[in-house]
Amino acid sequence: MAERENRRDRRDRDEAPEFADRLVAINRVSKTVKGGKRFGFAALVVVGDQRGRVGFGKGKAKEVPEAIRKATEQAKRNLIRVPLREGRTLHHDIEGRHGAGKVMMRTAPQGTGIIAGGPMRAVFEMLGVQDVVAKSIGSQNPYNMIRATLDGLKKETSPRMVAQRRGKKVSDILRKPDAEAAPEAAAEPAEA
């Protein structure tokens, strides 16, 4: 019995990847009651493995550490996988929106860094993106900005995913249109 539990503990440690977390916002809220005000805290946390998985969570409690713990647990349950090009940037430009929050994210050459504001920066850092240019338009509410960013990241597709969906090879998807037109144009004058 004890041997089985030790194996399970070892397996859980091996399988569970280490997650990094970032506290994005903490909000103190109050409820007025007959005896005065009761204070509580709401925390917004972004969690990721910095290798293409990211999630966010929110937690509320009477104490700050408990709110952060709840938010972190929820974030780990809501992880999404995002394909990254060369493990450092996005495959293509994307837009995301949630409510009045709208974000635009663009791929960037190596060495650009993360050019993004506030909550979006936390998402990219936890995701493992090293080069990206992002802009937030509309709502500055951190909850809506994170949701809009994740909405856009869910739309991210890699050439492998596109090729699989179309039933083609990745090399067919990545072939440049100029390269296809050049051999055909060279072959036509020879026949005439």
Question: Does residue 89 fall inside a structural domain?
Answer: yes
Question: Does residue 185 fall inside a structural domain?
Answer: no
Residues with pLDDT less than 50, the chain = 11-15, 192
Distance, in Å, from the CA atom of 67 to the CA atom of 25, rounded to the nearest integer, reads 11
Q: Treating both helix axes as pointing N-terminal to C-terminal, what angle do 118-127 and 142-154 enclose, rounded to 10 degrees?
A: 40
Question: What's residue 192's pLDDT?
Answer: 45
Question: By residue range, what is the domain housing residue 75?
Answer: 2-159
Distance, in Å, from the CA atom of 31 to the CA atom of 135, rounded to the nearest integer, reads 35
| DSSP secondary structure letter of residue 131 | S
Question: What's residue 2's pLDDT?
Answer: 57
Tally of structural domains, the chain: 1
Question: Does residue 166 fall inside a structural domain?
Answer: no
Question: Does residue 51 fall inside a structural domain?
Answer: yes
- Angle at 45 (CA atoms; ends 113, 24), nearest 5 degrees: 55
Question: Does residue 100 fall inside a structural domain?
Answer: yes
Question: What's residue 88's pLDDT?
Answer: 84
CATH number at residue 26: 3.30.230.10
Question: What's residue 70's pLDDT?
Answer: 95
Tokens matching residue 173: 């998807």
pLDDT in tens, 43-54: 999 999 988 899
Question: What's residue 158's pLDDT?
Answer: 86
Measured over the CA atoms of residue 78, residue 81, residue 82 and residue 88, the dihedral's sign is positive
Question: Does residue 70 fall inside a structural domain?
Answer: yes
Question: Does residue 11 fall inside a structural domain?
Answer: yes
Residues contacting residue 22 through CB under 8 Å, at least 6 positions apart: 45, 46, 47, 122, 125, 126
Question: Does residue 192 fall inside a structural domain?
Answer: no
Question: What's residue 169's pLDDT?
Answer: 85
